Amino acid sequence: MEKTVNKAIIRYLKKHFPNEWKAIIKRMKELRPGLAAKAPDIGGKENILADNIDMFILFIAYYEASDRRMNGDAIDEIIDDLYRHHKFLGVFLNANHKRLFSFFKKKLYRKYREYAALVKEKQAHGEWRETWGMIVDPNNDSESFSFTLVGCPLVEYAKKYGYMELMPHMCGLDHAYAKLMHTRLIRTHTVATGADSCDYRYVPDKSETAKNYTGKTI
């Protein structure tokens, strides 16, 4: 996924910084190791959510390398570009097909429950203290695919080092993923907006819930 996102960022740089894009990339590569060294150790490849930190650091490195010109609006544009370039995947990942949605729910719930159990095990031994906690299917909801992430190391990093203005835009990537799968993400609170957790509830975008929901979603 990181390579895909990086390609989208480079497309953005070529469009908006045609005379500087190579220099920005070079500077990003120089800055990234130092920024990554400040991130908490949450297990690397053993942690299935660790890629989120790597992606976040990638954006931060470009942000700094561009003298903070590649800001929140840039992230929004890059996310839109990612969606346009991968919209075709919706043909194969259409959550409105009940059997397909049920298959992916079952597979992902198993994977996420394994993650939640591993986090408890690691933290009992003093490891992975700053990773996301996870509650799978918190409402026992047959219609949706849902989970809750407790805490957020990205927000903690952003608070500590001065990147909170980027967080709402980074969170927007979740809505792009939802659109690719023909789902609607109903999310009423996030750690980035001051809560202690982020609620995720994905419903097929042609479902009655998706059509009729008028509450808050962020």
Residue among 170, 178, 169, 182 nearest 201 (CA):
178
- Computed over its alpha carbons, how large is the radius of gyration of the chain? 18
Q: Is residue 34 part of a domain?
A: yes
Q: Is residue 171 part of a domain?
A: yes
Q: Is residue 163 part of a domain?
A: yes
Looking at the 3D structure of the chain, how many domains does it have? 1
Predicted confidence band at 2 (pLDDT cuts at 50, 70, 90)? confident
Q: Can you give the pTM of this predicted structure?
A: 0.93
Q: How far apart are CA 141 and CA 189, in angstroms?
A: 18
Q: Is residue 218 part of a domain?
A: no
Q: Is residue 36 part of a domain?
A: yes
Q: Which domain holds residue 20?
A: 2-212
Q: Is residue 7 part of a domain?
A: yes
Instruction: Write the pLDDT tens digit of every residue in 118-154.
Output: 999 999 999 999 999 999 999 898 899 999 999 999 9
Q: Is residue 217 part of a domain?
A: no
Strand 133-136 and strand 145-150: the pairing is antiparallel
Structure confidence at residue 75 (pLDDT): 97
